[in-house]
Amino acid sequence: MRFGRASSQQDRYEREFRTIYSALYGTALRMTRDPDRAADLVQEASVRGYEAFDKFDGRNFKAWMLRIMTNLYINQYRKLYRTAGQVSLEDEHVEEAVAPPEEIPDIQIFSDMLEEEVEQALGDVPDTFRQAVILADIEGLSYDEIAVIVDVPVGTVRSRIARGRAHLRQSLERYAIERGYIKKSSIDE
Amino acid sequence: MSDIRDLISAYADGTATPEERAHVERLAAEQPEVAREILWMQVARQMLAEKCRTEAPEELFSTCMSRVREMDRRQRTERTVTRLAPALCGALCVAIIGAGVFNRSQNGNTLGANQVASLMTGGAAVRERQSVDADRAADAFRALNENMGGAVRLGAVPQLQPWSIERGYLDRHPFTRVLFRDSQGATVQLVAVASSGVAMENCETVDCYRISQMNGLTCVAWTEGETTMLLTGPYDQSTLMALGNELRQVKN
């Protein structure tokens, strides 16, 4: 009887997990920027999630698992894998992103960039801001859900998303210049 | 600008309050760069949503579920062991104690045929030897009875004169041996050993006696409570049984 219940819980967890593990992996990949580490993170999260599955309130499994994985990442992985170049300070300054209209390359250029280029540009965004952008723009979570996941106030989430997008635009502009989609002078002049 | 950017970002996401929305729209109408920032925020959302779709490898799902199942099995085993631990410990203790008691009881009450043969042929270690005067046979029997904890009550037999009493242990079993001489000078041996289970090879049972051959001599044995009496001498079994009867003070 007890084994029957355990098996049923396992089946339910498997079903739920199958629907979101790609999202978990994508987020892990963008947080760690390494496929192997991302897979490790997802595996660890899957085990932690199952351990705590009886505490899941049944509402948003993806947000619940993302929270588990993000906490894991914050507590374990980021300390181990953070490289010297990665910065995640809240007060990091972003260069003034709002430029006169004539100095900003056509925004349409960004839409035409390759997936790989967008991923690279996203990878250049500092950790904390990137995490917020990933959860909001890629995983489609609400500000409230992100606030719970990363354990900060909603206002901080909003600020991080805005800063992350500003960073992303700078990175995209750099890539656009490097690849000759736009000329440097169009920004510098 | 960062506050404005936060507002613009929230506006693009549709999470701004009505007041914030009105503020941003007023700014956008006045400043083209704000309008452009709003556009960028919307493009960024759309672009990321479209271009950053990742399909995880299928084997990752299998690996995750294998780990989950493994953990589940481990947890169930741990729970089972934890639940049963007191019972298992109790059973183990009972088994150990039971084995000890059984072993003790076996060792305490049983002697093998080889041990008995050793005892009857002088192989057992003697710790004390006492000579008995010919006219003090009654003392020898009293000593013998006392050595057997009072459980044995043997009477003197006129035709047997005790001349030596030995005490010792055979594998933790105390024994007392009395050596007699009969009227012909032949030695008769009576041994009382504290064991009710004495094995004898090829023995036959007559009345209360078990009869066997040991090293060419006939041996008759009987029990007195928890004590086994063994009698050997250069006689046939009827004579030995008759001697046994006399020692036990049983009259035919």
> Consecutive 10-residue runs of chain A (189 residues): their mean pLDDT?
62 91 91 89 93 88 92 74 46 46 58 80 90 90 91 92 90 81 56
Tell me if B48 and A30 make a contact (CB, 8 A cut-off).
no
pLDDT, one tens digit per residue, over B90-141 is 888 788 777 766 655 555 567 788 888 888 877 777 877 878 776 676 777 7
Task: Give the pLDDT of residue A106.
Answer: 61
Residue with tokens 């619940």: A64
**Closest chain A C-alpha to B93 CA, distance in angstroms:** 28
Nearest by CB: A10 against B1, B47, B69: B69
**Which is higher by pLDDT, B69 or A115?**
B69
Specify whether the CB–CB gap between B46 and A136 falls below 8 A.
no
Task: Give the pLDDT of residue A78.
Answer: 55
* CATH architecture of the domain with residue range A101-188: Orthogonal Bundle (1.10)
Instruction: Tell which of B1, B6, B9, B36 to mutate to test the A interface (max A CBs under 10 Å).
Output: B9
Task: Give the pLDDT of residue B150.
Answer: 60
Tell me if B65 and A158 make a contact (CB, 8 A cut-off).
no
Chain B residues in contact with chain A using a Cβ-Cβ cutoff of 8 Å: 1-2, 4-6, 8-10, 13, 15, 32-34, 36-37, 39-41, 43-49, 51-57, 60-61, 63-65, 67-69, 71-72, 76
Q: Which ranges in B31-171 belong to alpha helices (H)?
A: 32-51, 58-109, 113-120, 137-147
**Closest chain A C-alpha to B45 CA, distance in angstroms:** 5
Task: Give the pLDDT of residue A180.
Answer: 75
Task: Give the pLDDT of residue B109.
Answer: 61
DSSP notation for B104-144: HHHHHHEE-HHHHHHHHTT-SEEEEEEE--GGGHHHHHHHH
**Closest chain B C-alpha to A188 CA, distance in angstroms:** 16
**Closest chain A C-alpha to B23 CA, distance in angstroms:** 17
Q: Which residues of A touch B34 (CB under 8 A)?
A: 98
Task: Give the pLDDT of residue A182.
Answer: 67
Q: Give the whole-angstrom CA distance, residue B71 versus residue A82.
A: 29
Does B193 have pLDDT greater than 80? yes
Phi and psi (nearest 5°) for B91?
-65, -40
**Closest chain B C-alpha to A15 CA, distance in angstroms:** 11
Element (H, E) at B159: none
Ramachandran area for residue B215 (φ above 0: left; ψ -120 to 50: alpha; else beta): left
**Closest chain B C-alpha to A86 CA, distance in angstroms:** 21
DSSP notation for A105-160: PPTHHHHTS-HHHHHHHHHTS-HHHHHHHIIIIIS---HHHHHHHHTS-HHHHHHH
CATH class given for the domain over A2-81: mainly alpha
Tell me if B44 and A110 make a contact (CB, 8 A cut-off).
yes
**Which is higher by pLDDT, B142 or B241?**
B241
DSSP B203: -
Q: What are the CA-CA distances from residue B220 to residues B78, B140, B144, B207, B237 (Å)?
A: 61, 21, 18, 11, 7
Determine the residue of chain A that is closest to B32 in CA distance. A101
Nearest by CB: B9 against A29, A51, A158: A158
Across residues B154-182, what is the average pLDDT?
82
Question: Partners of B205 in the beta sheet?
Answer: B210
Listed by start position, the domains of chain A span 2-81, 101-188
Task: Give the pLDDT of residue A63.
Answer: 92
- pLDDT band per the 50, 70, 90 thresholds, residue B89: confident
Range from B22-26, B71-75, B138-142, B227-231 carrying the lowest mean pLDDT: B138-142
Task: Give the pLDDT of residue A84.
Answer: 41
Specify whether the CB–CB gap between B167 and B175 falls below 8 A.
yes
**Which is higher by pLDDT, B158 or A56?**
A56
Task: Give the pLDDT of residue A49.
Answer: 93
Tell me if A158 and B34 make a contact (CB, 8 A cut-off).
no
What is the ipTM, given to two decimal places? 0.74
Q: Give the whole-angstrom CA distance, residue B142 versus residue B150.
A: 9
Q: Which residues of B touch A99 (CB under 8 A)?
A: 33
Specify whether the CB–CB gap between A111 and B46 falls below 8 A.
yes
Residue positions counted in chain B: 252
Best CA proximity match to B188, nearest among B109, B124, B244, B104: B244
Cβ contacts below 8 Å, chain A against chain B, sum to: 138
pLDDT, one tens digit per residue, over B36-54 is 888 888 888 888 888 888 8
Determine the residue of chain B that is closest to A160 in CA distance. B6
Q: Which residues of B touch A119 (CB under 8 A)?
A: 51-52
Does B143 have pLDDT greater than 80? no
